[in-house]
Amino acid sequence: MASPVLLLVLLAAAAAAAPQLCSAVDPVSTYCAKNFTGAQTQASISQVLSALVPRASADYYATATAGRGDSAIWGLAQCRGDIPASDCVLCISAAARALASTCRGQADARIWYDYCFMRYDDTDFLGLPDTGYTIILINTMNASDPVAFDRAERKLMARVAAEAGEAASGGLARETARFDATSTTIYGLGWCTRDITTADCGLCVAQAVAELPNYCRFRRGCRVLYSSCMARYETYPFFFPVDGKDGGAAASSHAGEYEKIVLNP
């Protein structure tokens, strides 16, 4: 029989190797707007959230509508296509609970996680690319060889934007590049909500990528999030599947320190 000390070591090792679920349940940002007082609108919101949770949990994507006239609400929920199904369920459930609580009494609500996105609105937004409200998260650390790193990151994210605009990508682009100066791998990702077309997805991710040098030049990581797509790069693995030599599990959404900028609030 293994000693108590050995068992503790084994348990600690297993915990370190397990996928980190905080990315599924910790929100990156929330947006709430359009105050209302009507009980019917609130009922429509509740119906939309109740419909989105099981559908998106099962299919990684869902839309829903409820109500009529001034009380009509449209909703969308989507998980990132590379994540485990169990994390999708956790993320979608957490998103619905958070919106119901944080944005109660407001008819335009959106919440971003690393692993999923959810929104509802009293205007039909489905199928319309939305790059208005913008969240930028900037890693506070600079690259050790900033000019060469920036060159490698730009080439990587150009490939991400191009891949996102291809039908075969399904709205999810993942690329990696080896930064030779330090043998560091740069991880790049772009993904879109599935209500927009493939062409619009490519344009949306390209717009997000174009913002990166404006705010994140020489930084080791950056994220630009819209309501229809996002683009992100890091020097640690944050998407699946993960190369075992780089840690064995996708890193937390809060790995490292980040500055947050909101545009067009």
| Boundaries of every domain in the chain | 22-121, 134-263
pLDDT band at 15 (very low <50, low <70, confident <90, very high): very low
* Assigned token pair, 37: 């007082």
- The string of pLDDT tens digits covering residues 152-196 is 999 999 999 999 999 999 999 999 998 876 788 999 999 999 999
Region 241-248 average pLDDT:
56
Q: How far apart are CA 245 and CA 228, in angstroms?
A: 33
Exposed e or buried b per residue across 233-242, where buried means at least 16 C-beta atoms within 10 angstroms of its C-beta: bbbbbbbbeb
Residue 18 has pLDDT above 50, yes or no: no
| Distance of alpha carbon 19 from the chain centroid | 17
Question: Which CATH number is associated with domain 134-263?
Answer: 3.30.430.20
Region 18-45 average pLDDT:
82
Q: How far apart are CA 121 and CA 127, in angstroms?
A: 13
Region 56-78 average pLDDT:
97
Q: Which helix (H) or strand (E) holds 90?
A: helix 85-102
Domains 22-121 and 134-263 share a fold: yes
Q: Is 188 exposed, middle or buried (0-12, 13-18, 19+ CB in 10 A)?
A: buried
Residue type (1 letter), 27: P
Q: Of how many residues is the chain composed? A: 265
Give the pLDDT confidence score for residue 42 in this predicted structure. 97
Written out in words, the top-level CATH class of the domain with range 22-121 is alpha beta
Region 140-146 average pLDDT:
91
Cβ atoms 124, 76 nearer than 8 A: no
Residue 142 has pLDDT above 90, yes or no: yes
If you average pLDDT over every residue of the chain, what do you get?
88
Q: How far apart are CA 211 and CA 199, in angstroms?
A: 19
Give the pLDDT confidence score for residue 17 in this predicted structure. 34
pTM over 0.85: yes
Give the pLDDT confidence score for residue 144 in this predicted structure. 86
Residue 134 has pLDDT above 70, yes or no: yes
- In the numeric block, the tokens 């937004």 are attached to 125
Q: How far apart are CA 222 and CA 151, in angstroms?
A: 15
Region 95-106 average pLDDT:
97
Give the pLDDT confidence score for residue 156 in this predicted structure. 98
